[in-house]
Amino acid sequence: MGTTQLEQAPETKYWHLKTVIGEALDSEFAVGEILPNERDLAARFGVARATLRQALEQLELEGRLQRRRGVGTTVAPPRMGVAVGAAGNGWPGGTGDAWQAADSTQEIPPASVAELLGTGEETVHVLRRSRMYNGQPVAADLLYVPAASVPDLSAIDIPDGVTRARVVLRELQRLGFEGEDRAVELGSARADDARQLDRLPGAPVLLVTTRYFGPGGRTAAVSVATYRADTCRLTFGGDVEFHSGQERRAS
């Protein structure tokens, strides 16, 4: 009667586990330290392995644990702040930052990209790049460049993918751009991205879609970057580094 009935949900087991383990991580474990294996942990807490795993999965999602098949579960360092704003990368790869142009082909872009580009079913240059940070791969990226955006190249024929990538980037950089647009959403890693990022397919990733506007307001290029969600915190604007004292190091 008088009891304010606010308890509501009786807190599930895995949620409680997650809390308990999370607190233990703060107080009793150092970064890089290895946890007991899942079977032992499950036994120790008196739950099924699946339940224990549900807790670990969330902690990994939050960037507090790192699990590797065949190896074990370790305490993850704090997420690294990765600059995505205008300060970080003009034409990505242009200024020789951590982006590494890997390859280039000419393909018909997927519908979602074609819509952003405003092109129809024309083929575009597709540059594959990957971004390193503190010696770790943090992002895989596809840069879609319509042939119209780099007119001076249409006559030349360059067979090698890597050098063509470099040439396209240089040309883009020469032309410059007038603005950019960015969107971030949650996704799961495709098989090839997963391989580049040293994760399993389906791993949670942050999808950063950038539109680059050329002269006249036309969309000159579109980039879709796939960042590891477990290890990265994306930073925007402000040239100041977040948390500058606490960046992640290789384990």
Tell me if 9 contacts a second copy by CB under 8 A.
yes
Cα 37 to the center of its chain, rounded Å: 27
Interface mask (CB under 8 A) for a second copy, residues 75-94, using x and -?
----x-x----x--------
> Is the separation of the CB atoms in 219 and 118 below 8 Å?
yes
Tell me if 23 contacts a second copy by CB under 8 A.
no
Ramachandran angles phi, psi of 119, nearest 5°:
-85, 170
How distant, in Å, are the alpha carbons of 11, 97, 230 from that of 130? 41, 11, 17
Report the run of H or E that residue 84 belongs to, with start and end: none
Among 24, 31, 50, 132, binds DNA (CB under 7 A): 50
Among 148, 171, 187, 218, binds a second copy (CB under 8 A): 187
Q: Token digits for 82?
A: 């990765």
Binding to DNA (CB under 7 A): which residues in 184-203? 200, 202
Distance CA 251, CA 241 (A): 22
CB of 94 to a second copy, least distance (A): 19
Q: Which one, of 89, 92, 151, lies nearest residue 125 by Cα?
A: 151
> Is the separation of the CB atoms in 129 and 100 below 8 Å?
yes
Interface mask (CB under 8 A) for a second copy, residues 140-169, using x and -?
------------------------------
Q: Is 115 exposed, middle or buried (0-12, 13-18, 19+ CB in 10 A)?
A: exposed
Among 41, 63, 142, 221, binds a second copy (CB under 8 A): 63
- Interface positions with a second copy (CB under 8 A): 9, 15, 18, 58, 61-63, 79, 81, 86, 115-116, 179-188, 191, 201-202, 204, 206, 209, 211, 229-230, 232-238, 240, 242-243
- Interface positions with DNA (CB under 7 A): 8-10, 12-15, 35, 37-40, 46-51, 53-54, 56, 67-73, 200, 202
